[in-house]
Amino acid sequence: MPLALALVMASVIFEMIRRRKLREEFATMWLCGAVVMMALAVFPDILFWLQDVLQTNFLTLVTVFGFGIVSLILLHLTVITSKQATEIRRLGQQLALQNQRFESCRTDPQADTSKRDETGVKQEEGPPAVDCPNQKTVAGSGDL
């Protein structure tokens, strides 16, 4: 029965990957869990050996093992969520800067948004200057 459960889990994971509902980076963790389940199903003596070595009850050992796996999965997902939150914040800031440049172009189409130093020479660092569109070509400006 445990071997059949592990095989069903592995086949469900492969099917989700095939249908693009599960990305490969997450699937590796789940496939590792399925392999461990298969190994414990084929060699149940490993759990009984651990039970003797740790001098604990079988149910406690399985519960701690399951809790450890769930904790690792949660840690992995938390790391991914943190990276995505940082990326979303960075993209939001970029979008806000682009919107600010666009709005300054809408109010003053002749405005030069490039940076200049104290002597009035354009600086080449940073994002390229925004091409200010003509007021009449801006969609939704009401001047059409």
pLDDT tens, position by position, 1-15? 878 888 898 899 889
Give the pLDDT confidence score for residue 136 in this predicted structure.
Answer: 46
User: In terms of C-beta density within 10 A (0-12 exposed, 13-18 middle, 19 or more buried), how is residue 6 classed?
Assistant: buried
Q: Is the per-residue pLDDT at 63 higher than 50? A: yes
pLDDT in tens, 95-131: 999 999 888 888 876 655 555 556 655 555 555 555 5
Q: What is the pLDDT of residue 87?
A: 96
